[in-house]
Amino acid sequence: MPSPRDLFDQLNTEYSAVHKTKEDLFWSTYMATSSDDAGFARAEEAYKNFISDPDRLAGVRSALASLPTTDADESTQALRQGLQGWLALFECNIIDNDQARILMAELIQLEAALFTKRRDLVLQHLGESGQLEAATLSTLATNMGTNPVKVARKSSHDAMMGLEHWVLGNGFLDIVKKRNAFARAQGFENYFDFKVQKNEGMTTTELFAILDDFEQRTRATNSRALDELAQKHGAEATQAWNLRYYISGDVTRKLDPYFSFAKSLQRWVESFRRLGISYRGATMQLDLLEREGKYQNGFCHGPIPTYFNNQGQWIAGQINFTANATPDQIGSGARAINTLFHEGGHAAHFANVTQNSPCFSQEFAPTSMAYAETQSMFCDSLINDADWLKR
Ligand SMILES: [Zn+2]
């Protein structure tokens, strides 16, 4: 058996490799620069097998048990803390029965198949020009929020509904069934309970207590706002394809000249620099423009999670993030800079995790999603700040 220190170093190195292979393929398949979907599914499975491996969990437990009860020096203390990080990661990803493992592998295949088919699906709506045109989720949402023509807004909504029906007819229900079976095989009621427990460390009951409280306290204000809107613009104003337009469509149109996409990148860099946000030498790869086949939601993933290695050397991050800007669409510039601040905020967070293992700087469980979003949403909230807007 390796010494606790060797085991720790080995986990750091092996994880970094399996994580990077998966993330590189994730990026190239999601950006549609590669169609190696089978390769990605294999890499995803290797990664999931790593983080859910009962033998690695047992190894970490016994390494921790073999450490002296009090830390003789700082380096033992750091080792203990690092091993506890691995313990937390393995404990929340462990799959300790064979049936669940088989279900996980099947699930990866089903998700990869739907993903591949979805990439070839083209949605259409009536855009700003009044012509039928190909649209992405992002252009659909922007058109629905800003187009002054009702029929055009409705066409974007219909396309979104069309996508819902399309996924139902193309294997999504099988994925839902498989996800629930996978969760049940591990003693959870359903996949949602499983995810909330694993990602946020809370039960669904605890989560809903927070959400119900929020809903109750905002209910009166919300329905008052909807009533006012209906009084002002007629009952139709609260229909799905009208609501966002009547709430903010006008403002978005008026702000549009000030939110040119061309200036977004510079404004993001300048704002973050003046906030004192740095990236500790990380390599950043940004894919900002809408493109056919490209994944239609902004995201930030890091192929190289940051840490100080066993020589005390800084392993700088490698971080990819994406936006779906369509520079000529009204409202798109604002959406693009929002994505830059949001995903750039995630990147700033993960580029600055200064612990001794990559297990602390990866964005998956046990890293809480709510915690990660706190960093990114703090950054994107600046865009609505009056002082920032003025400057
Ligand atoms: Zn986010």
pLDDT in tens, 36-89: 989 999 999 999 999 999 999 999 999 999 998 887 899 999 999 999 999 999
Average pLDDT over residues 89-107: 91
Q: Cα(343) to centroid of ligand 1, in Å?
A: 6
More confident residue, 332 or 278: 278
Whether 354 has a pLDDT exceeding 80, the answer reads: yes
Whether 167 has a pLDDT exceeding 80, the answer reads: yes
List Cα–Cα distances, 316 to 207, 240, 302, in angstroms. Answer: 35, 45, 11
Q: Cα(367) to centroid of ligand 1, in Å?
A: 13
The single residue listed with the structure tokens 């939601």 is 297
pLDDT band at 197 (very low <50, low <70, confident <90, very high): very high
Give, as one character, the DSSP assignment of residue 368.
-
Q: Cα(382) to centroid of ligand 1, in Å?
A: 15
Q: Cα(346) to centroid of ligand 1, in Å?
A: 7
Q: Cα(263) to centroid of ligand 1, in Å?
A: 22
Q: What pLDDT is recorded for position 153?
A: 97
Residues belonging to the chain: 391
Q: Cα(342) to centroid of ligand 1, in Å?
A: 6
Average pLDDT over residues 263-285: 94
Contact criterion met (CB below 8 Å) for 376 and 343 = yes
Q: What is the pTM of this model?
A: 0.84
Q: Cα(149) to centroid of ligand 1, in Å?
A: 31
Whether 96 has a pLDDT exceeding 80, the answer reads: no
Q: Cα(285) to centroid of ligand 1, in Å?
A: 17
Q: Cα(259) to centroid of ligand 1, in Å?
A: 21
Q: Cα(313) to centroid of ligand 1, in Å?
A: 29
Q: Residue 308: helix, strand or coil by DSSP?
A: strand
Q: What pLDDT is recorded for position 281?
A: 97
Q: Cα(65) to centroid of ligand 1, in Å?
A: 37
Q: Cα(10) to centroid of ligand 1, in Å?
A: 31
Q: What pLDDT is recorded for position 374?
A: 94
pLDDT band at 245 (very low <50, low <70, confident <90, very high): very high
Q: Cα(7) to centroid of ligand 1, in Å?
A: 33
Q: Cα(361) to centroid of ligand 1, in Å?
A: 15
Q: What pLDDT is recorded for position 138?
A: 86
Whether 346 has a pLDDT exceeding 80, the answer reads: yes
Q: What is the percentage of the chain residues whose pLDDT exceeds 90?
A: 77
Q: Cα(380) to centroid of ligand 1, in Å?
A: 10
Listed as own residue / partner, the contacts of 380-384 with beta carbons closer than 8 Å and 24 or more positions apart are: 380/338, 380/341, 380/342, 380/345, 382/271, 382/341, 383/334, 383/337, 383/338, 383/341
Whether 226 has a pLDDT exceeding 90, the answer reads: yes
More confident residue, 281 or 35: 281
Q: Cα(177) to centroid of ligand 1, in Å?
A: 27
Q: What is the percentage of the chain residues whose pLDDT exceeds 70?
A: 100
Average pLDDT over residues 300-326: 94
Q: Cα(334) to centroid of ligand 1, in Å?
A: 17
Q: Cα(376) to centroid of ligand 1, in Å?
A: 6
Residue spans per domain, the chain: 4-96
The alpha-helical segments, DSSP class H, found in 67-97 are 74-93
Q: Which residues are CB-neighbours of 345 under 8 A, at least 6 positions away? A: 375, 376, 377, 378, 379, 380
pLDDT band at 130 (very low <50, low <70, confident <90, very high): very high
